[in-house]
Amino acid sequence: MTILLEDNLSWRDVAAVAEGANLALSAGAWDRIDRASAIVTAIVEQGVRAYGVNTGVGALSDTVVNRDSQGRLSRKIVLSHACGVGPWLGRAEVRAIMTAQIANFAHGYSGVRDVIVKNLLALLSKDCIPCVPLQGSAGYLTHNAHVSLVLIGEGRAHLGDAELSGRDALSRIGLSPLVLQAKEGLSLVNGTACSTGLTSLALARADRMFDWADAIAALTMEAAGCQSDAFSEAVLALRKSERLETAGASLRGRMAGSGLIAKARGRRTQDALSLRAVPHVHGAARDMFDFVAATVDDELASVTDNPAVGGTPDAPRVWSEAHAVTPALGQALDALAIALAQIGMMSERRIDRLVNPLVSGLPAFLASDAGENSGFMIAQYTATALCSENRRLAAPASTDGGVTSALQEDFLAHPTAAANKLNAIIANLEYILAIELMAAAQAHDIVAPQAPRAAGTQAVYQSVRTCVGPYFDDRPLGNDIEALRTLIRKSDPPVA
């Protein structure tokens, strides 16, 4: 599949390229890139004062750089800004960042030459992926700089199973290191490509996970004999929320025709909130997801390079602005992090209700021989630990603040930190949901003789048993968790 960039990309486009789709630019996009490059050339020739073109950067913005030094300035910006630390980001994450970076250049306000974009596209098409450390960006600079190192023959890159020097990686795919010109170094490290790319990938993972969260909750609710009136269409209509109803309809569809639900009718006056409030928590998270998705699409449609160039080669304009800061994205990501952490907290409470004999009416810890066997006792510990980590990660990044570059950058919105936190929460949530899925299937093995499952939950149950069998304390339980986490991450929940 090839994604064509004409005017703007969407977050779904970025996620598709991150997962392996090709990216191509329309003739109009190339024209915009060429026009902006010509404007930068005119700025250099006319000596128009422009940040990062003929001045230093950050607190050195008033230091003039002569024309002979402007190309060297670009190279040195990349080298000095490539100071990330920690483990490498994954292949998909780096591809997402590169895709968002190309989209920013294609707006036609950055001023890089077309060869910069062509070489980034070549890296994507050949799956030659720069090695980018996870940590070090207060805003956006270090991740982009590590991507840019490979373009100039520095740094390291993954090509197939090999990790190569940037120069060797370029040689293997038929490219030579670039010699950067004025402004190109700053444009390569600038903008919100890092946070928008990472967020696009997070949204793709969360989007699939919402459907799994509904399906897994339904499997648990059926095994627990929930009172289905709490999420009937008429009852949910009393609270005005379209996405609340989306979640409620998903649950009703999964449990339609359930003999277990019918048998449990009237057993309790009302269920615990971890069962009764599933549509409310899942619906609120979907609302926040929609808001973040719209925010990312706005970001991808925006120019986030500083400075932006415009006008014409005869009358060039340059504007120093703050479009790369994006507090809107950082705040939105923090809100989605909280919403997803809540889904995990509720899932863990349902796990406890399945394994806790004080409330489940089932064998203690769903063990086949409680006492000799521990069953899912410690799996619930794992879910609790992951929920605790998610609560810590859900603390907002956008209010962290910080001062950099000798008071020149005295406000930081931390969108990249917020995106990294969100991806970490999603990874933990996948494990929490996998544990609930595993426990719910085991509970169904126990209650199956009482009444038939719904067709919708039967499909989910069968997908579990295709991956892992019932548990008898006969193998390391962590392997089952990993198998079901892979199922959640890589596939959509099955339908009847």
List pLDDT tens digits, range 292-324: 999 999 999 999 998 999 999 999 999 988 888
Burial 350-363 (b: 16+ CB within 10 A, else e): bbbbbbeeeebebb
For the chain, how many residues are written?
496
- Nearest Cα to Cα of residue 348 among 413, 434, 442, 225: 434
Lookup: tokens for 141: 């600079």
CATH superfamily label, 199-490 = Fumarase/aspartase (Central domain) (1.20.200.10)
> What integer pLDDT is reported at residue 72 of this predicted model?
86
Beta strand ranges found along 80-233 (DSSP E): 85-88, 128-130, 133-135, 156-159, 162-165
Q: Which residues of the chain are in CATH 1.10.275.10 domains?
A: 2-190
Question: What residue ranges of the chain are covered by domains with CATH 1.20.200.10?
Answer: 199-490
Letter for the amino acid at 352?
Answer: D
Topology of domain 2-190 in CATH is Fumarase C; Chain B, domain 1 (1.10.275)
What integer best gives the mean pLDDT of the chain?
Answer: 93
Neighbours of 312 (CB within 10 A): 11
Residue 59 — very low, low, confident or very high, per pLDDT cuts 50/70/90?
low
- 419-469 tens-digit pLDDT: 999 999 999 999 999 999 999 999 999 999 999 999 999 999 999 999 999
Give pLDDT, residue 356.
Answer: 94
Grade residue 368 by pLDDT with cuts at 50, 70 and 90.
confident
How far is Cα 261 from Cα 225, in angstroms, rounded to an integer? 5
- Tell me the whole-structure pTM to 2 decimals: 0.94
> What SS3 state is found at 24?
strand
**Cα distance between residue 52 and residue 110, in whole Å:** 12
Report which of 153, 151, 178, 149 is spatially closest to residue 168, judged by C-alpha positions: 153
Residues 6+ apart with CB under 8 A from 269: none
pLDDT for residue 306: 87
The DSSP secondary structure of 286-328, one letter per residue, reads: HHHHHHHHHHHHHHHTS---SSEEEE-SSSEEEE---TT--HH
pLDDT at 363: 93
54-87: burial string, b at 16+ Cβ within 10 Å, e else: bbebeeeeeeebeeeebbebbbebbbebbebeee
The rounded distance, in Å, linking the Cα atoms of 23 and 4 is 6
Instruction: Give me the helix-helix angle, 455-467 and 477-490, nearest 10°.
Output: 120
List the helix and strand counts (H, then E) for the chain: 20, 9
251 near 277, Cβ under 8 Å?
A: no
Tokens of 196: 């928008």
Alpha-carbon distance of 255 to 262, in angstroms, equals 10
